Amino acid sequence: MSALPATMPTPRDEHWKYANLRGLARARFEPSVSPPAETVARITAALPKPLEGFERIVLIDGFVSSVSSTPSAFTTTSPISIAKLNADRYFLELNRRLRSDTLRLAVARHQKRSVEVVVVSLGTSHPAIEIALAEGAELSLIERHLPLSADATVINLVIFAVVGVHAQFELSRIVQASPKAQHVETIELRLCEGSASKFFQLTTGAALSRTTAFAAHDGRDSSLEWHAAALGEGTQSHDAFVHVAHSAPSAKTLQQFRGIAADRSRVSFTGHMRVDTNAPYAQCDQSLKCLLTGSEAEADVRPQLEILTDAVRASHGATVGKLDPDMLFYLLSRGIPEESASSLLKWAFVSDVLRRLSNPAIRAEIEYSLERVLPGAVAARSGT
């Protein structure tokens, strides 16, 4: 195979300082093999029932293997990456080299679609999803990873989205790979004038996960909400680097991260926001928090604001802390067992992010995934 136009990141690369590069270096990124028909049939039969009102598309090891309705015709050449640094493009280029299918989702002018993409990984996969929203289009997309295999699967996923003028995009992701999986992903969003995008991500699975994301406000008055939560336990490591560039006036970004590092896990999030000279009247709000619950756990949150113009309204906060002992004691003093009490408080901590989810079906789905790691927590919110 000829050399990639990019090289594997190293700890010297600014955006990869907290990534588990040793773990990534051990991952074997091989071309994926098309799953046999009986495997596809078996998996398809085992899938949970589709979300009501959503078209379902299933990706097995990166192959588009079942589509409940035909995706709209959509032709494009693969978009140009926003990522400028070689290191940031490495996994992207690797995906382009090794990917099998590219799932293209397009929503025509003023049309509305709700799509559920189920991602199943059995071996090595390089899923690729390219999304285009035309002017005034609306897309609600939920992407769920089902940990159907207990093996050490390897995933290198790429998502590209262009959110057209005045389009509305909601992308909700549940990254819950198998406990031994290695999971890398590159996400790029181009936001056109007057568009509104909401991004949610819950990461609970994988031995190691790394998210590299770039979002660019290319048109004026565009808005982006980026809400992410990551829960690490055992020796898991979850690392995210999210770069948001304001390149046009009056754009808004709200970014929230809530991470919980239990046991000996590592959770880190770097949120970099850049407001260019030609992007005045920007509004940037950032709140990054991590909870350390394991004595040998590590957590890092790094807010980075780079503002090159005046007239910007910005706020940011970043904290790493422990479970509040007063809250914990209050719950214990009511007879709540210690494990449930700390589960409740973790839930409460993450709920800052969840309460922004407007779609009840997606919210229920995300809460259900969270319930697996924080038992009893869903009931605590709904009070049932």
CA distance 58 to 260: 30
Nearer to another protein, 312 or 348 (CB): 348
* Residue 229 · residue 255 · CB < 8 Å: no
Based on the number of CB atoms within 10 Å of its own CB, is 100 exposed (0-12), middle (13-18) or buried (19 or more)?
Answer: middle
Closest approach of another protein to the CB of residue 303, in Å? 22
CA distance 288 to 300: 10
Among 351, 356, 361, 363, binds another protein (CB under 8 A): 351
Among 163, 291, 344, 366, binds another protein (CB under 8 A): 344
Nearer to another protein, 302 or 356 (CB): 356
Please give the full DSSP string across 199-226, using - where no structure is assigned. Answer: EEEEE---SEEEEEEEEEE-STT-EEEE
CA distance 152 to 177: 10
Among 166, 347, 359, 374, binds another protein (CB under 8 A): 347
Residues of this chain, 123-182, that bind another protein according to CB under 8 A: none
Closest approach of another protein to the CB of residue 298, in Å? 24
Give the tokens for residue 202: 């819950």
The verdict on 364 binding another protein (CB under 8 A) reads: no
Nearer to another protein, 75 or 384 (CB): 384
- In this structure, what DSSP letter does residue 16 have? G
Give the tokens for residue 53: 């009102």
Among 41, 46, 67, 379, binds another protein (CB under 8 A): 379
Please give the full DSSP string across 137-186, using - where no structure is assigned. Answer: -EEEEEEEEE----S--EEEEEEEEEE-TT-EEEEEEEE---TT-EEEEE
Size of interface with another protein, in residues (CB under 8 A): 29
Among 4, 348, 361, 364, binds another protein (CB under 8 A): 348
Amino acid making up residue 370: L
SS3 327: helix
The verdict on 5 binding another protein (CB under 8 A) reads: no
Nearer to another protein, 92 or 366 (CB): 366
Closest approach of another protein to the CB of residue 289, in Å? 13
Residues of this chain, 284-343, that bind another protein according to CB under 8 A: 325-327, 329-338, 340-341
Of 228, 222, 210, the closest CA to residue 247 belongs to 222
Among the listed ranges 157-165, 188-196, 212-220, 375-383, the one in contact with another protein (CB under 8 A) is 375-383
Closest approach of another protein to the CB of residue 325, in Å? 7
Give the footprint of another protein on this chain (CB under 8 A).
325-327, 329-338, 340-341, 344-345, 347-349, 351-352, 376, 379-384
